[in-house]
Structure 1
């Protein structure tokens, strides 16, 4: 009796959505479902785009969190020092925050009246200031370059014509509103950062323990040692940079008061703030202060410029090596590369955090990567 032979599976009709082939002679059958793979891949791309959009929308919040964590790591060495002197952690955190907020409130309370006073003087004596500027040597030099003899008056007329255009007034009004909104947003952001810093500083130890739970138990000892070294280097860097800024601010206050610079307290505060930015901060602050000193006299501006040229050499070759070498052990060339890259990617805040990030990478390479390579 004849029986019907079953056709081999490989010869049976394959569904249109599947492509069938053999892995090799006599090997297992391989099926590639093109529609399923394409659909899952498209879902993955859409999910990646969605996550990117969410990160973009939360960019400001992420920046606040990163800055608060950075400040918390910077204040933690001070809190730890107080703890070693038998001060409870909660009291140490409270003392540190009271001192930090008190210093900034004191500076603002000192600087704001100066700014208001100088603005009032400028408004009241505007005609005299304009007349003095017209008769100054600088204007005479500009007139000699232009050849017309009325460079300032031509500039004033051009500015008046620009302001007379209603479209330009709209642009100017929008810019002023944008500046006002930026200032209001800055105060709001500063408040949020301070609150987050307080929370992070209070729960820093528990955050470290929780992060260690993600590491296998056999590697937690090494992870804790590396993480403690990284957080310590970040804290030392913040303290070192603030120390450099404080030295620049105090010395600027003394010298600018001696040479009769306008509003020396305000200019010293500007010197302190700019010194917090590595590499380019000090020279940028020096240029700004020297230009402001022109309001007093060219001789005052020249004296300020000469002082800052000398101070920058002192900072680069004496102060910074002594302070920052103890804070973070980063080669000089890597400091420059890290600061430039951080500034390009994240602006001023990127430049601030670039050097401790570079120091953290060096610690990871020396403590984790190199030992594993040497053990092979």
Structure 2
């Protein structure tokens, strides 16, 4: 029986493609293992690059207006830290000042919740039983909870080390990013260096676009949910909306989680019906953001299809939790920008860092 030449060529090509895919998969697996092993270094550097992409335009603008680069970097960093610190101080102080009133309202809201659940067929005794079991679980697991808290404090040194590394990298990328990039591209020569230089600048430009798109989407989440809280009479509207804005920097899940926190405050302060309204508002705003704004703004900014954005975030959450969700889209955008630039036959100069 003679073998069909076309079938043989097809099998040969399929075998070659499969072998190439296996090599790529093995390389990706090794890269993932290396990154996981060096997470204490990789994560701070990645966060520093994201912050640099956000702050670099301000530093560049000041430098173009004859402000020394070092002074421009210091002004932008100090201003950014002061702004974030002021926001966090305002949120924490407002919430702490409101705790006595919320604690007073908790008893009445609990009784209202019992009555509301009774109207939908849930016996109030069942709610009391759940609350009792929760208290008993906390009492029975005090030792393990304390151990977990101590373990968290035991990693404080690594957290501080990562923070110091992130700040160090951020400062020098903002101040001396051009020279650092020129040094990194030294191993390449001629047209290869030009292509690598264009790829890096294009990737950094896309990171900047991603961060500004994220700010817009987070602001829309905060305004939409904040208006809903104001209309329903929930207290702490401004600090809760601010938390939603900060949570929006974790794509897809951050604003939803902080929105549920607002629903919990609504449950304590205004009762179950208002809390249900707040949950519906959070879901509606998230649907608008996830199905309209996120694809329209973020996807265009990083030049990725909405499906690619959602899948990247899903994989990031599955592999690395919140950090994975935050870094997934920037990582995919960087890979896309570098690949697209290197595959182009003729390169246009990319935007400056």
Q: TM-score normalized by structure 2?
A: 0.75
What is aligned with 1:237? 210
Q: CA deviation at 1:349?
A: 2.0
1:254 Cα shift? Answer: 4.5
Q: Mean alpha-carbon deviation: is it higher for 300-309 or for 267-276?
A: 300-309
2:99 to 109, 116, 119: 119
Counterpart among 278, 282, 287 of residue 251 in structure 2: 278
Is residue 196 of structure 2 the alignment partner of residue 223 of structure 1? Answer: yes
Larger deviation: 340-349 or 246-255? Answer: 246-255
Instruction: Give the drift of 1:187.
Output: 6.7
What is the count of residue pairs matched by the alignment? 316
Cα distance in 2, alignment partners of residues 76 and 94 from structure 1: 12
Name the structure where helix makes up a greater proportion of residues: 2
1:101 aligns with 2:75: no
* 1:179-198 map, 5 Å: 189-190=162-163, 192-198=165-171
CA contact (8 A) 1:257 1:264 kept: yes
- Paired residue for 1:129? 106
1:153 paired to 2:128: yes
What TM-score do you get using the length of structure 1 for normalisation? 0.71
Q: Is the 8 A contact 1:77 1:232 kept in 2?
A: no
Q: 1:238 to 1:271 in 2, by over 3 A?
A: same
Q: Is contact 2:109–2:272 with CA below 8 Å preserved after alignment?
A: no
What is the distance in 2 between the residues matched to 1:97 and 1:199? 11
User: Quick one: which of 54, 68, 72 aligns to 1:88?
Assistant: 68
Q: Which segment is superposed worse, 64-73 or 103-112? A: 64-73
Q: CA offset at residue 301 of structure 1?
A: 2.5
Structure 2: runs of 5+ lacking an equivalent? 1-29, 347-353
CA contact (8 A) 2:109 2:267 kept: no
Q: Is the counterpart of residue 268 in structure 1 residue 241 in structure 2? A: yes
In the TM superposition, residue 136 of structure 1 has moved relative to its aligned partner by: 1.6
Shift, 1:104, TM fit:
0.8
Q: In structure 2, what is the Cα distance between the partners aligned to 1:344 and 1:74?
A: 26
Give the corresponding residue for 1:65: 45
Cα distance in 2 for residues equivalent to 1:177 and 1:324: 39
Check whether the contact 1:133–1:139 (CA below 8 A) recurs between aligned residues. Answer: no
Equivalent of residue 301 in structure 1, options 272, 275, 294: 275
Looking at structure 1, the residues matched to 336 and 131 of structure 2 have their Cα atoms a distance apart, in angstroms, of 56
Matching of residues 218-367 of structure 1 within 5 Å: 218-295=191-268, 296-316=270-290, 319-367=293-341
The answer for the alignment partner of 1:202 in structure 2 is 175
Matched, 1:170 2:146: no
Tell me the SS of whatever aligns to 1:63.
helix
- When residues 287 and 184 of structure 1 are mapped into structure 2, their CA distance, relative to the original with a 3 A threshold, is farther
In the TM superposition, what is the alpha-carbon distance from 1:146 to its structure 2 partner? 5.8
Cα distance in 2 between the residues matched to 1:134 and 1:264: 22
Please report how far the alpha carbon of residue 174 of structure 1 lies from its aligned counterpart in structure 2 after TM superposition: 1.9
The structural deviation recorded for 1:214 is 1.5
Q: d(CA) in 1 for partners of 2:336 and 2:43?
A: 24
The farther-off stretch of 93-102 and 249-258 is 249-258
How far did 1:141 drift? 2.0
CA change 1:76–1:276 in 2 (3 A) is same
Over aligned residue pairs, what C-alpha RMSD do you find? 3.5
The 1:292–1:367 alpha-carbon spacing in structure 2 relative to 1, beyond 3 Å, is: same
Deviation at 1:134, TM superposition (A): 4.8
